[in-house]
Amino acid sequence: MAELLRTDRLLVRDWSVADATAALKIYSHDDVVRWLPELDRVPDAAAMHAVLQGWAAEQSEMGPGTGRWALVLLQGCVLVGGISLLPMPVPEVDVEISYQLAPEYWGRGYITEAARAMAHWAFAHSLVELFALVAPDNARGARAARRIGMEWVGESDKYYRTHLQVFRLRPDDLVCAAQK
Ligand SMILES: CC(C)(COP(=O)(O)OP(=O)(O)OC[C@H]1O[C@@H](n2cnc3c(N)ncnc32)[C@H](O)[C@@H]1OP(=O)(O)O)[C@@H](O)C(=O)NCCC(=O)NCCS
């Protein structure tokens, strides 16, 4: 499994089909999947295996600076979440950052740490801005976006056929967020 980057507490690496059991704890959890407009709840290990196979197949065709990765705690090597940089459904030139964490690991700053590192990586790989799409009542998701340094730019119905808040991150926002 290729490693993408490390932070103080986390490893960001490619997904593997061997992650199916740990990934299922994230992508079958109602508190996570209710906020994911592009993914239905994954019902069982076989379905999770198939999803991971699909992600692996897509990964090889992704453009520079985009993909889907697993988040693993360095201490104990526990898979706790996922993070992705994917072309937005409309228009395809923009890139969306999204992240999911197993609920038992919420509230420890893991996503703030991982998403900031991913954004630095993305900006070093020729991306000039990133977007996050957050359901209006997903308060924790919106807090995470703001904590990374993202700016709220509006609300839109054009993505995933649902009403979503749009946040944007540019390199300067990342620098300012790090100074807070
Ligand atoms: C969105 C989601 C990833 C955020 O998880 P999270 O644990 O709140 O975010 P972080 O890991 O960055 O942790 C931040 C929280 O930990 C606290 N924290 C503790 N130690 C911290 C540290 N070292 N650094 C930063 N925050 C820390 C913060 O105060 C914050 O808690 P608060 O929001 O209650 O004030 C998670 O809720 C999730 O998986 N939701 C479902 C999927 C989703 O909504 N994704 C977003 C749409 S893309």
Looking at residue 76, which CATH number applies to its domain?
3.40.630.30
- CB-side neighbour CA atoms (13 Å) of 146: 9
What pLDDT is stored for residue 92 in this prediction?
73
d(CA 134, CA 136): 6
pLDDT score recorded for residue 60:
84
| Phi, psi for residue 162 in degrees, rounded to 5 | -145, 165
pLDDT at 180: 66
Q: Is 35 helix (H, G, I), strand (E, B) or coil?
A: coil
Contacts of 54 (CB under 8 A, 6+ apart): none
Supply the pLDDT for residue 93. 82
DSSP annotation string for 75-140: TT--EEEEEEEEE-SSSTTSEEEEEEE-GGGTTSSHHHHHHHHHHHHHHHTT---EEEEE-TT-HH
* Tens-digit pLDDT string for the chain (180 aa): 799 999 999 999 999 999 999 999 999 999 999 999 989 999 999 999 999 999 999 988 888 889 999 999 999 999 999 999 999 987 778 999 999 999 999 999 999 999 999 999 999 988 999 999 999 999 999 999 999 999 999 999 999 989 999 999 999 988 777 766
Report the pLDDT value the prediction gives residue 7, as an integer from 0 to 100: 98
C-alpha dist (Å) from residue 98 to 114, 152, 167, 179: 11, 15, 11, 23
Question: What pLDDT does residue 50 have?
Answer: 97
Q: How many domains does the chain have?
A: 1
Question: How many angstroms separate the CA atoms of 20 and 49, rounded?
Answer: 5
Bridge partners of residue 113, in order along the sequence: none
CA atoms within 13 A on the CB side of 58: 15
**Measured distance CA(175)–CA(147) in Å, rounded:** 12
Task: List the domain range (segments joined by +) for residue 119.
Answer: 3-179
Ligand 1 and 106: CB distance under 6 A: yes
CA of 63 to the centre of ligand 1 (A): 28
| Longest Cα–Cα distance in the chain | 44
Task: Decide whether any atom of ligand 1 lies within 6 Å of the 110 Cβ.
Answer: yes
Which residue from 101, 131, 163 has its CB within 8 A of the most atoms of ligand 1, so it is best to mutate?
Answer: 101
Ligand 1, atom 15: closest residue by C-alpha: 107
| Rounded CA separation 161/67 (Å) | 22
Is the beta carbon of 7 within 6 A of some atom in ligand 1? no
- 119 in Cβ contact with 4 (< 8 Å): no
Ligand 1 centroid to Cα of residue 112, in Å, is 7
